[in-house]
Amino acid sequence: RAKSAGGNRFELADEEADARAITRHGLTTALPAALDRGEFFIEYQPLVHLGDGSVRGAEALVRWLHPQHGVLGPDRFIPLAEHTGLIVPLGRWVLEQSVRQAREWRERYDDAGPLRINVNLSPCQLTHPGLVQDTVDILERAGVEPDALCLEVTESALIGADDDLLKPLRRLAEMGVDIALDDFGTGYSNLANLRRLPVSILKLDRSFTQSMQQFPADPVDLKIVEGIVSLAHSLDLAVTVEGVETGAQAEQLRILGCDTAQGWYYARPGPPERLHELALVDATG
Q: Which of 80, 68, 172 is nearest to 130 (CA)?
A: 172
| DSSP helix/strand/coil, 234 | helix
Interaction between residue 272 and ligand C2E (CB under 6 A): no
Instruction: Please enumerate in sequence order all residues whose Cβ is within 8 A of that of 255, keeping only pairs 6 or more positions apart, or say none.
Output: none
- Provide the 8-state DSSP code for 218: P
The alpha carbon of 225 is separated from its chain's Cα centroid by a whole number of angstroms, namely 20
Closest approach of ligand C2E to the CB of residue 184, in Å: 10
Interaction between residue 182 and ligand C2E (CB under 6 A): yes
Q: Report the largest interatomic distance among the alpha carbons of the chain, rounded to a whole angstrom.
A: 66
Interaction between residue 269 and ligand C2E (CB under 6 A): yes
Closest approach of Mg ion to the CB of residue 9, in Å: 33
**HSE-up of residue 198 (Cα within 13 Å, Cβ side):** 21
Cβ atoms < 10 Å from Cβ of 124? 17
Q: Where does this chain touch ligand C2E (CB under 6 A) — which range of 5-13, 212-220, 242-250, 252-260?
A: 242-250
Q: Where does this chain touch ligand C2E (CB under 6 A) — which range of 30-38, 73-81, 158-166, 218-226?
A: 73-81
Closest approach of Mg ion to the CB of residue 170, in Å: 20
Q: Which of 283, 279, 239 is nearest to 261 (CA)?
A: 239
Q: Which of 284, 249, 251, 279 is nearest to 264 (CA)?
A: 249
Which residue from 178, 221, 242, 259 is in contact with ligand C2E, where contact means CB under 6 A?
A: 242
Count of residues interacting with ligand C2E (CB under 6 A): 23
Which residue from 74, 89, 113, 114 is in contact with ligand C2E, where contact means CB under 6 A?
A: 74
Which residue from 61, 199, 256, 261 is in contact with ligand C2E, where contact means CB under 6 A?
A: 61
Residues in touch with ligand C2E (CB under 6 A): 45, 61-62, 73-75, 78, 91, 94, 120-122, 152, 182-183, 242-245, 262-264, 269
